Amino acid sequence: MQHVIIGAGPAGVIAAETLRRLDPGASVKLVGDEQEPPYSRMALPYYLFDRIQEDGTHLRKQPDHFSRNGIEVLRARVTAVNTKARRLTLDGGKELGFDKLLIATGSHPIRPPIPGMDLDGIFSCWTLADGRNIAKRAGKGSRVVLMGAGFIGCIILEALAMRGVKLTVIEMGDRMVPRMMNQVAGGLIKKWCETKGVGVHTSTRVESIEKSGAALKVRLSSDKVLDADVVISATGVRSNLEFLGGSGIETDFGVKVNDRLQSSHPDVFAAGDVCQGRDFSTGEYSVQAIQPTAADHGRIAAANMAGRSVRHQGSVNMNVLDTMGLISTSYGLWMGVPGGESAELRDTDRYRYLSLQFSGDHLVGAQSLGLTEHVGVLRGLIQTRVRLGRWKDRLLKDPTRIMEAYLGCTQALGHNAGVLA
């Protein structure tokens, strides 16, 4: 049995390891198109402000991890998939056969259609190579304009601020992280960043970028013009699907899959940012493009490739962000559901916020600012669909009691433990 995995990010690596465990006799090949050993994009911001060196971004720390585990890592770019002949075409014309294929090719940053985007000094922050370039060009005192205050933009924002650059952020939405936080929380993050010396322009677009001597001029929709040494574009990502043209594998925003993460071709599976998998909260199929979902997908797709039948129950969309020391999280249907109740705690002076969204007797979504303890229990409450009973009223009065609610609803709390001894 020949298992081939395209993409050496978290989904691909976890799938390769899972396959090795579940299908010990099979060949497992991991094909990646970057020069470095498999690494984590999540770790790039920490590389940017020198908390870690390049090897600190590596997904596995032992240099011989893959060879020791019988996983062959190939450096190549896949240009075409022939599902009939079960062969991949690689750049340079070589071919690679497979019995089962996992598409884990991730996503790429989109390039906004703005005049001047091809000028020198404009970067994405997506690969280690991007990280090296930014580290070279954006030093202490450099004027940096960051396009996009979404999740990725905000992660980079912290790293840039730590590098000591003069930072201005441009966001089209009316607040920061508009697809992760509501008006109140997104507004508070904006205010927090401003008090830390970052310029934040929301409800604003970049109209054009022009060269001006050694620097760049960034023209905004507000007619304001910013001088910049470096512009970083973080305006969103899209699944890497181009090479699937002509393969017959059905795609939408990502590769379309069933509950076993199987594509329209029975021997081809998908995982991670390229996979349009089930969302736990909505029951619909969407591209989540987050680390925990990539890990879920990699494990489940591999189990199915190894001949087990494992169903993906859906991943909870969740994010955690640290914007210059202000930590925010969001989970599931954080925006609430029609007819659902909600609980909110606002302490705007201290940048504390907690919002819980209920559907009937269940927690279905949440957002927090400044919560670093027991925050994962929000996932537990959502994903176990635990019936809250009288704890719902208690949470409506005091949403901070999430941990007590979880324990109260799921543990015996000692009522009956005595009779068991």
Partner 1 sequence: MLKALQIEPEKCTGCLQCELACSFQAEGVFNPSKSRIKIFTFHDEGRFVPYTCTQCSEAWCMHACPVEAIVFNDRTGAKEVLADVCVGCKVCTIACPFGTVNYDQDDKVAYKCDLCGGAPECAKACPTGAITYVDADHTGLARMRAHAAKTANVGASA
Indicate the residue among 197 and 325 with the shorter CB distance to partner 1: 325
CB of 270 to partner 1, least distance (A): 19
CB of 224 to partner 1, least distance (A): 34
Enumerate residues 6+ apart whose C-beta is below 8 A from 125: 44, 45, 48, 131, 134, 152, 156, 232, 234
Give the three-class secondary structure for 109.
Answer: strand
Classify residue 254 as exposed, middle or buried by CB count within 10 Å of its CB (0-12, 13-18, 19+).
buried
Indicate the residue among 246 and 389 with the shorter CB distance to partner 1: 389
Strand partners, 84: none
Indicate the residue among 129 and 413 with the shorter CB distance to partner 1: 413
Alpha carbon distance 258, 256 (integer Å)? 7
Indicate the residue among 56 and 246 with the shorter CB distance to partner 1: 56
Indicate the residue among 62 and 208 with the shorter CB distance to partner 1: 62
Indicate the residue among 168 and 319 with the shorter CB distance to partner 1: 319
Instruction: Kindly list the distances between the CA atom of residue 420 and the CA atoms of 24, 75, 412, 415, 417, in Å, as whole numbers in the listed order.
Output: 42, 58, 11, 11, 5
Indicate the residue among 34 and 227 with the shorter CB distance to partner 1: 34
Total residue length of the chain:
421
What phi and psi values does residue 18 have, to the nearest 5 degrees?
-65, -40
CB of 376 to partner 1, least distance (A): 4
Indicate the residue among 162 and 215 with the shorter CB distance to partner 1: 162
CB of 380 to partner 1, least distance (A): 3
CB of 199 to partner 1, least distance (A): 25
- Copy the structure tokens of residue 186: 């997104």
CB of 96 to partner 1, least distance (A): 27
Indicate the residue among 85 and 420 with the shorter CB distance to partner 1: 420
Q: Classify the C-alpha dihedral 236-45-72-271 as positive or negative.
A: negative
Q: What is the DSSP letter of 242?
A: G
Do residues 254 and 237 lie in contact, with contact meaning Cβ atoms separated by under 8 Å?
A: no
Indicate the residue among 165 and 320 with the shorter CB distance to partner 1: 320
Q: From its phi and psi, is residue 14 left (phi > 0), alpha (psi between -120 and 50) or beta? A: alpha
CB of 240 to partner 1, least distance (A): 19
Q: Classify the C-alpha dihedral 3-6-8-10 as positive or negative.
A: negative
Best CA proximity match to 5, nearest among 369, 354, 294 = 294
Give the three-class secondary structure for 208.
Answer: strand
Alpha carbon distance 175, 21 (integer Å)? 45
CB of 201 to partner 1, least distance (A): 27
Binding site for partner 1 (CB under 8 A): 10, 14, 40, 42-43, 46, 51-52, 56-61, 291-292, 295, 299, 318-320, 322, 325, 327, 329, 331, 372-380, 383-384, 387, 389-390, 402-404, 406-408, 410-421
Count of CB atoms situated within 10 Å of the CB of 392: 20
CB of 322 to partner 1, least distance (A): 7
Alpha carbon distance 170, 155 (integer Å)? 14
CB of 390 to partner 1, least distance (A): 7
End-to-end CA distance of the chain: 51
Best CA proximity match to 40, nearest among 60, 59, 68 = 59
